[in-house]
Amino acid sequence: METLILTRSEVEQALSPTALLDALRGAFAAYSTERSIDAMRVPVPLPQDRAGASGMLLAPGLVPGIPAYSVKVHAKFPGGDPAVQGLLILHDLETGAPLAILESSYLTALRTGLAGALGAHVLALPDARCVAIIGAGVQARSQLAALRLVRGITSVQIFDSSLEAAQRFSLDPTCDGLSVAVASSVDDVLSGAQIAVTSTWAHQPFLFRRHIHPGLHITTLGPDQPGKCEVAAEVLTASCVVVDDRKLAVEMGAVGGAGLNAAAIHAELGEVIAGFSPGRHTPEQVTVFASVGLAFQDLCAGWLAYNAAKEMQLGRWLNLLS
């Protein structure tokens, strides 16, 4: 059997954001209501002289209706370009044969952005139009682009510890057609914002109770392995907290990173999407979507890219057993 090899640019050509958004919506609901296997994320520490470098194994990804499973291996090198890079391997669910090997940096950024958008869409106020971005990297761009697929965003306010990075973001095509402002502080960037997205490498919280206001929705993405934290415990305990996976949110996500346990969690995103939980209760409530990223998201993306690439005759085929 031959295996399809896809580069980053070929994955980008093959993968439709709107198709993946629909697939993820159903997959989140299925994961929380029909779970057959728990998501697994295995952090892999790398030598300390690599300035925060680490690895990550995500396995296995399973989704009802997809006759494949996935395993992803990632390397994280803060300051690198890209800072996150790796491979996704699709295996036939019946035989284990490798169907495809995909470069996964674009795929990961896209599926993470769309998951954040789904969280914001079900939790943010219906008329939320102003977004605050904290951390102006690749994922921030993915988040804003994904939000624009589900909400009529009109303005974005950007803050990064690097003013140069924030200014670059303000000129990115992702911001085209929006009112754009570069903020000088966390307090400044949140002024008037209805949705806040944090996507940083932070190990200490920078969002505190004094920063939040009634009706705000926060999507926190940075805490995806032990020791990382963006949102303080005092914010989480004052908010309606929705996560992608309860167990992982405590083990290596925003909840555990803030020193809290599962009691701080209101629901999983899939439970809200499926209608098992109401999510936001009142217009004044502050909501938080805390995501670590789950392997089934990669499977959804990889499966769509694999099938579209075959139709588009992208990539190259190799017999790995030859």
Q: What is the pLDDT of residues 140-193, one digit of tens each?
A: 999 999 999 999 999 999 999 999 999 999 999 999 999 999 999 999 999 999
Q: For residues 100 and 137, state if they share a domain.
A: no
Question: What pLDDT was estimated at residue 61?
Answer: 87
Mind listing the pLDDT tens digit for each residue in 53-103? Answer: 777 787 888 999 999 999 999 887 877 777 788 999 999 999 999 999 999
Q: Domain check: are 272 and 139 in the same one?
A: yes
Whichever domain contains 28, its CATH number is 3.30.1780.10
**What backbone phi and psi angles, to 5 degrees, belong to 125?**
-60, 145
Quick check: 13 pLDDT over 80? Answer: yes
Q: CB-based contacts of 232: which residues, under 8 Å, 6+ apart? A: 205, 207, 208, 209, 258
Whether the per-residue pLDDT at 48 is higher than 70: the answer is no
- Do 92 and 153 reside in the same domain of the chain? no
- Shared domain for 28 and 165, answered yes or no, is no
Residues 138 and 272 in one domain: yes
What does pTM read for this prediction?
0.94
Percent of the chain clearing pLDDT 70 (strictly above): 98
Domain holding 227, by residue range, is 122-290
Residue 215 contacts residue 283 (beta carbons within 8 Å): yes
User: What integer is the mean pLDDT of 273-281?
Assistant: 94
Helix (H, G, I), strand (E, B) or coil at 200: coil
According to the model, what pLDDT value does residue 37 have? 83
Tell me if 113 is assigned to some domain.
Answer: no
Task: Tell me if 114 is assigned to some domain.
Answer: no
227 and 154 co-located in one domain: yes
Three-class SS of 102-151: EECHHHHHHHHHHHHHHHHHHHCCCCCCEEEEECCCHHHHHHHHHHHHHC
Least confident range from 47-61, 134-148, 212-226, 284-298: namely: 47-61
Torsion sign over Cα 13, 18, 19, 22: positive
Same domain as 229, residue 131 = yes
Q: Are residues 130 and 221 in the same domain?
A: yes
Q: Give the mean pLDDT of the chain.
A: 94
3-state SS of the chain: helix, strand, coil percent to 5?
Answer: 35, 25, 40
Q: Which CATH number does the domain housing residue 282 bear?
A: 3.40.50.720
Q: Please tell me whether residues 126 and 235 are part of one structural domain.
A: yes
Do 78 and 221 fall into the same domain? no
Q: What percent of the chain has pLDDT over 90?
A: 85
- Of the listed ranges 23-32, 74-83, 200-209, 302-311, the one predicted with least confidence: 74-83
Task: Name the helix (H) or strand (E) containing 188.
Answer: helix 186-190
Give the pLDDT score at 141.
95
How many folded domains does the chain comprise?
2
